[in-house]
């Protein structure tokens, strides 16, 4: 069933990946999810810092929050702060 297999993965490789994920169990898959999420967060914050090397750590975190939460929620959570460009 090619429709369920990513285009950059062979059918056999996809089956192998599914088998591995099934053997990991729920807690193993959740662990991978959290590690990937943390990696993406760090990569995104590194990108913000690269674009804005003059930002403080707090400004990088504020810019990340704006990306993740959007302007409306960011303003609601931190109403006294200016929005920081990501």
Of 35, 6, 34, 36, nearest to 18 by C-alpha is 6
User: Could you read off the pLDDT of 21-31 as tens digits, one per residue?
Assistant: 999 999 999 99
pTM, two decimal places: 0.75
Q: What are the sequence ranges of the domains in the chain?
A: 9-77
* pLDDT at residue 32 tops 90: yes
The DSSP string of the chain is: -GGGS-TTS-HHHHHHHHHHHHHHHHHHHHHHHHHHHHHHHHHHHHHHHHH-TT--HHHHHHHHHHHHHHHHHHHHHSTTS-----
């Amino acid at each position: 069933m090619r429709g369920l297999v990513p285009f950059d993965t062979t059918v056999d490789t996809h089956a192998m990946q599914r088998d591995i994920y099934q053997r990991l169990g729920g807690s193993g898959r959740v662990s991978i999810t959290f590690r990937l999420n943390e990696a993406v967060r760090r990569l995104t914050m590194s990108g913000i810092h690269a674009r804005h090397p003059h930002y403080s750590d707090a400004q990088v975190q504020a810019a990340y929050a704006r990306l993740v939460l959007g302007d409306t929620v960011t303003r609601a959570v931190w109403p006294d702060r200016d929005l920081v460009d990501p």
